[in-house]
Amino acid sequence: MTHAVLKAKLGNEKPDTGIDNAARKEIAEHLSGILTDTYFLTIKSHVYHWNVVGPMFHSIHVLTEEHYGDLFQAADVIAERIRALGFHAPVVDAAGPDNAVVSLNTAAKSAHDMVSDLIKDHEAAIRKMRDAAEIAEKHEDFVSHDMLVARLSFHEKAVWMLRSLITE
Ligand SMILES: [Fe+2]
């Protein structure tokens, strides 16, 4: 027998905050895609942190550690924003052309390939976040907009740092 207190289920939450239901749904869907990318980029950064080899080992090992720490915390912030908008916070559709991580097979990757791969994923995340920030602003969801601007500055800085590692 389950206690009544444990039976609460996620229903159809409709916060009456001045953002209409269709807009909240649209923003939450964009944030869900961004949450997925953020989580998988966390994992990929961590896997490369462990497996990178060669003369750039230490630089990449340290930079990826900074990145996966930030990304892990960001996933929580993004997921909680989705909940505040009234929606379930899933990590969905991990594999697919639009998502950041399709394969985590690091066996055949050089340090250069790992960094290039991270740059590509950060750039893809940036493009999605820019679109989502524009949509959030259009619907006057300034909180999501603000959060996305903060995420964009992290990812753009990450791309700069990663690119600087492999520019000759
Ligand atoms: Fe570590």
User: Could you read off the pLDDT of 76-118 as tens digits, one per residue?
Assistant: 999 999 999 999 887 655 555 455 445 566 667 899 999 999 9
Q: What is the mean pLDDT of the chain?
A: 89
- Measured in Å, residue 65 CA sits from the centre of ligand 1 at 6
From the list 42, 14, 39, the residue with the least C-alpha distance to 28 is 14
- Model confidence at 37, pLDDT cuts 50, 70, 90, reads very high
Question: How many Å lie between the centroid of ligand 1 and the Cα of residue 80?
Answer: 26
DSSP string, 46-109: HHHHHH--STTHHHHHHHHHHHHHHHHHHHHHHHHHHHHTT--------SSTTSS-S----TT-
**b/e map 77-112, b = 16+ CB within 10 Å:** ebbebbebbbbebeeeeeeeeebbbeeeeeeebebe
Find the 158 Cα to ligand 1 centroid distance in Å.
18
What is the reported pTM? 0.87
Which pLDDT does position 14 carry in this prediction? Answer: 81
Please give the share of the chain, as a percent, with pLDDT higher than 70: 84
Give pLDDT, residue 128: 97
How many independent structural domains does the chain possess?
1
User: Is 123 contained in some domain?
Assistant: yes
**Burial of residue 75, with CB atoms counted within 10 A of its CB: 0-12 exposed, 13-18 middle, 19 or more buried:** buried
103 occurs within a structural domain: no
Residue 81 falls inside a structural domain: yes
Please tell me the distance between residue 49's alpha carbon and the centre of ligand 1 in angstroms.
7
> Which has more pLDDT, 98 or 133?
133
The dihedral built from the CA positions of residue 46, 50, 55 and 59, taken in this order, carries a sign that is positive
Q: Does 101 reside within a domain?
A: no
CA of 39 to the centre of ligand 1 (A): 17
* Residue 143 belongs to a domain: yes
Domain ranges, residue 72: 18-30+40-88+110-166
pLDDT above 60: residue 62: yes
Residue 11, pLDDT > 90, answer no
